[in-house]
């Protein structure tokens, strides 16, 4: 039995059933661009990008080529048209050629274009490589499960003279960066978000079904439907029986299949999801604990407090106070 009491469902019109639970999970990433940089780099050159916890790095080679290096891994060649996503913001190096000396990113002069936009012109004056860099912050609590599954790097490639989605998006970003028209920051930010999502989708499509785990559960027609309902309406008084009924399965069959695919029980997953959502509310709103508790399925504030402390490791009031001090 989950540690909560039934609450009155939303008064909003009934939400239609989702046909794409994965899209809803991707929305939980809550992407927020923190930096966009257009770099013109001439041989010889090398840049060391510091570790950025909670930030996804997206780097696109729009002309020329370079090498990407992560500690403990073989260098990766990035020709023109390459995109690399570094999901967990690991420290890494970019070089025009193997052996080029690197300089820390923070020590390279930049031209500030706006609060989050900047240009870099750096190097020894030789062959030109252009790289666009985008740093995007994600909600570490809501996105944790997905981000933990991702590899250290995701790389996509396209030919810059083709009409693929990647080339078209990269070309559009480059045009907006050059023109600096009103609204360019918003356009570039949205397009860069698309690059992140598409890179993740491409990876999901490439992994073997037996390696997908939680991802496979989202793709499962019946289990995915139940997960979608929990994601969209966490305040509902969901029980194993009601979710099994929505999935069109018996209680025992649904429970066993859910646990096998997801790696935890239905109620453990639901409680964890609710606490992740509550954590976001505590950080992003000043709403009372009672209101937050009700929005995530708890009519009793003490019951919510107990569940939150059990899952997160500290009471909700302490999380709010800690965030206010940061």
128, 135 contact by CB (below 8 A): no
pLDDT value of position 326? 66
pLDDT value of position 163? 58
pLDDT value of position 2? 38
pLDDT value of position 15? 42
- Model's pTM, two decimal places? 0.72
Kindly tell me if the per-residue pLDDT of 13 is higher than 70.
Answer: no
SS3 call for 68: strand
Domain with CATH 2.60.120.280 in the chain: 31-206
Kindly tell me if the per-residue pLDDT of 28 is higher than 70.
Answer: no
Bridge partners for 129 per DSSP: 41
| Mean pLDDT score, 65-75 | 93
CB atoms within 10 A of CB 312: 18
Q: Which of 82-91, 206-215, 246-255 has the highest mean pLDDT?
A: 246-255
CB atoms within 10 A of CB 161: 8
E strand or H helix at 121: strand 117-123
pLDDT value of position 9? 35
For the ranges 109-123, 204-218, 262-276, which has the lowest average pLDDT? Answer: 204-218
pLDDT value of position 64? 93
Q: Which of 28-32, 55-59, 211-215 has the highest mean pLDDT?
A: 55-59
Kindly tell me if the per-residue pLDDT of 16 is higher than 60.
Answer: no
pLDDT value of position 10? 38
Domain with CATH 1.10.10.60 in the chain: 214-325
230, 297 contact by CB (below 8 A): no
Bridge partners for 119 per DSSP: 38, 111
- Terminal C-alpha separation, the chain: 36
Q: Which CATH superfamily is domain 31-206 in?
A: Regulatory protein AraC (2.60.120.280)
Mean pLDDT of the chain: 83
Pick among 1.10.10.60, 1.10.1200.30, 1.10.1660.10, 3.40.50.1370: CATH of 214-325: 1.10.10.60
- Percentage of the chain surpassing pLDDT 70? 84
| Mean pLDDT score, 42-60 | 91
pLDDT value of position 109? 93
pLDDT value of position 5? 39
> 79-90, pLDDT tens digit by residue?
988 889 999 889
Binned at pLDDT 50, 70 and 90, residue 251 comes out as very high
CB atoms within 10 A of CB 47: 24
| Mean pLDDT score, 279-306 | 93
Distances from the Cα of 10 to the Cαs of 7, 13, 236, in angstroms? 9, 8, 8
Q: Based on C-alpha coordinates, what's the Rg of the chain?
A: 23
pLDDT value of position 20? 64
pLDDT value of position 24? 67
Residue 93 CA, distance from chain mean position = 22
258, 246 contact by CB (below 8 A): no
Q: Which of 157-166, 186-195, 205-214, 279-288 has the highest mean pLDDT?
A: 279-288
Kindly tell me if the per-residue pLDDT of 232 is higher than 80.
Answer: yes
Question: What's phi and psi for 116, nearest 5 deg?
Answer: -120, 0
| Mean pLDDT score, 306-316 | 93
| CA–CA distance, 41 with 219 (Å, rounded to integer) | 42
Bridge partners for 136 per DSSP: 33, 56
Spell out where 52-148 has E strands: 55-63, 66-70, 76-78, 82-86, 92-95, 103-104, 111-112, 117-123, 128-137
E strand or H helix at 173: helix 165-179
> 131-143, pLDDT tens digit by residue?
988 888 877 666 7
| Mean pLDDT score, 264-275 | 94
> 172-182, pLDDT tens digit by residue?
877 776 676 77
pLDDT value of position 7? 36
């Amino acid at each position: 039995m989950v540690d909560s009491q039934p609450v009155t469902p939303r008064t909003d019109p009934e939400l239609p059933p989702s046909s794409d639970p994965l899209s809803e999970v991707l929305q939980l990433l809550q992407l927020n661009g923190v930096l966009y940089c257009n770099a013109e780099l001439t041989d010889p050159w090398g840049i060391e990008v510091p570790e950025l916890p909670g930030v996804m790095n997206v780097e696109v080679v729009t002309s020329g080529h370079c090498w990407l290096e992560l500690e403990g891994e073989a260098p990766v060649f990035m020709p023109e048209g390459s995109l690399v996503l570094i999901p967990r913001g690991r420290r890494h190096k970019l070089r025009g050629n193997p052996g080029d000396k690197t300089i820390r990113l923070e020590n390279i002069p930049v031209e500030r274009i706006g609060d989050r936009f900047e240009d870099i012109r750096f190097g020894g004056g030789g062959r030109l490589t252009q790289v666009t860099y985008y740093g995007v912050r994600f909600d570490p609590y809501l996105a944790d499960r997905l981000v933990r599954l991702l590899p250290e790097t995701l790389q996509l490639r396209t030919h810059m003279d083709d009409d693929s989605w990647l080339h078209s998006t990269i070309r559009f970003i480059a045009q907006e960066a050059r023109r600096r028209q009103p609204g360019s920051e918003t356009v570039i930010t949205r397009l860069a978000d698309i690059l992140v999502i598409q890179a993740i989708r491409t990876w999901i499509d490439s992994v073997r079904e037996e390696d997908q785990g939680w991802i496979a559960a989202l793709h499962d027609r019946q289990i995915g439907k139940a997960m979608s309902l929990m994601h969209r309406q966490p305040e509902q008084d969901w029980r194993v029986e009601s979710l099994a009924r929505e999935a069109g399965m018996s209680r025992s069959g649904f429970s066993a299949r859910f646990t096998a695919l997801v790696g935890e029980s239905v109620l453990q997953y639901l409680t964890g999801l609710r606490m992740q959502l509550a954590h976001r509310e505590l950080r992003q709103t000043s709403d009372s604990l009672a209101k937050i508790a009700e929005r995530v399925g708890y009519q009793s504030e003490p019951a919510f407090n107990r569940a939150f402390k059990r899952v997160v490791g500290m009471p909700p009031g302490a999380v709010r106070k800690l965030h206010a001090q940061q």
